[in-house]
A and B are shown apart, each in its own frame.
Chain A
Amino acid sequence: QKEVEQNSGPLSVPEGAIASLNCTYSDRGSQSFFWYRQYSGKSPELIMSIYSNGDKEDGRFTAQLNKASQYVSLLIRDSQPSDSATYLCAAAGGTSYGKLTFGQGTILTVHP
């Protein structure tokens, strides 16, 4: 079983719609969760971090964490073509303290 698993995608949404990206993790001791955006040929860029249950909003992005269900999600409101990228979910803490474990990524395409 993968330690961090994302919905495989690819995900395609029209411009202006809400894009929903999902992630589950297996290490119940994980404490910190991150969403990174990666454009083709580039390194990942941190978008959001979340550490406690509930929602965290930053501009058009909302991260949601449910530790009981071991589930993390990222919502992108008013999606723009520039949001088209691979989104990586990562978890830290637990048995892999100090190291991030990444999911396989979800490719998002926002079409005009």
Chain B
Amino acid sequence: GAVVSQHPSWVICKSGTSVKIECRSLDFQATTMFWYRQFPKQSLMLMATSNEGSKATYEQGVEKDKFLINHASLTLSTLTVTSAHPEDSSFYICSARVAGGNEKLFFGSGTQLSVL
């Protein structure tokens, strides 16, 4: 299957700082990537859809100014959590859809963010 690389795997930061998470498709081009957030014992909640060369589309209730998404190339999307607070602590997972792949998603390994 397609490989999606995500890093860092985990990050601990102080409240008020910003954290950048990278998501790369290694062996395919991804015009669309998705960013999910997962709290303990809960399912994945879609935060935003990242489109190469255009603005991301955010789900209802997700603050676009707080969760900055940049999809500068066909293989890289980044999520920056700005001015992080303890309530932003969560497992963030990116995914990419293979073109013509019948909407199959392949996931990165996830980033566990802990905000102190």
Residues of A within 8 A of B (CB): 31-32, 34, 41-46, 49, 51, 88, 90, 92-93, 98-105
Query: Could you tell me if B1 and A44 are in contact, using CB atoms closer than 8 angstroms?
Result: no
Stretch at the interface among B68-76, B79-87, B106-114: B106-114
Contact for B44 among A49, A88, A93, CB less than 8 A: A88
Question: Can you identify 21 A-B contacts, CB atoms within 8 angstroms?
Answer: A41-B110, A43-B93, A43-B107, A45-B107, A46-B105, A88-B43, A88-B44, A90-B105, A92-B103, A98-B49, A98-B97, A98-B103, A99-B34, A100-B34, A100-B46, A100-B105, A101-B46, A103-B43, A104-B42, A104-B43, A105-B43
In the complex, what distance in Å separates the CA atom of A90 from the CA atom of B95? 14
The contact size tier of chain B is: 20 to 34
Contacting residues, chain B, for A31 (C-beta < 8 A): 103
**A interface, over-half SS:** strand
Tell me whether B20 is interfacial, beta carbon within 8 Å: no
Contact for A93 among B32, B97, B103, CB less than 8 A: B103
Query: Which of B49, B91, B103: most chain A Cβ within 10 A?
Result: B103
Contacting residues, chain A, for B109 (C-beta < 8 A): 42-43
Contact for A102 among B1, B43, B106, B110, CB less than 8 A: B43
Query: Could you tell me if B110 and A32 are in contact, using CB atoms closer than 8 angstroms?
Result: no
Task: Take A98-B32, A98-B49, A99-B49 as given contacts and tell me if A44 and B104 are in contact as well, using a CB distance cutoff of 8 Å.
Answer: no
Give the distance to chain B from A51, nearest Cβ to Cβ, in Å: 7
Give the distance to chain B from A86, nearest Cβ to Cβ, in Å: 9
Query: Could you tell me if B106 and A46 are in contact, using CB atoms closer than 8 angstroms?
Result: yes
Residues of B within 8 A of A (CB): 1, 6, 32, 34, 42-44, 46, 49, 91, 93, 97, 102-110, 112
Q: Which residue of B lies closest to A32 (CB)?
A: B103
Contacting residues, chain B, for A99 (C-beta < 8 A): 34, 46, 49
Q: Which residue of B lies closest to A92 (CB)?
A: B103
Contacting residues, chain B, for A100 (C-beta < 8 A): 34, 46, 103, 105
Q: Which residue of A lies closest to B44 (CB)?
A: A102
Give the distance to chain A from B75, nearest Cβ to Cβ, in Å: 18
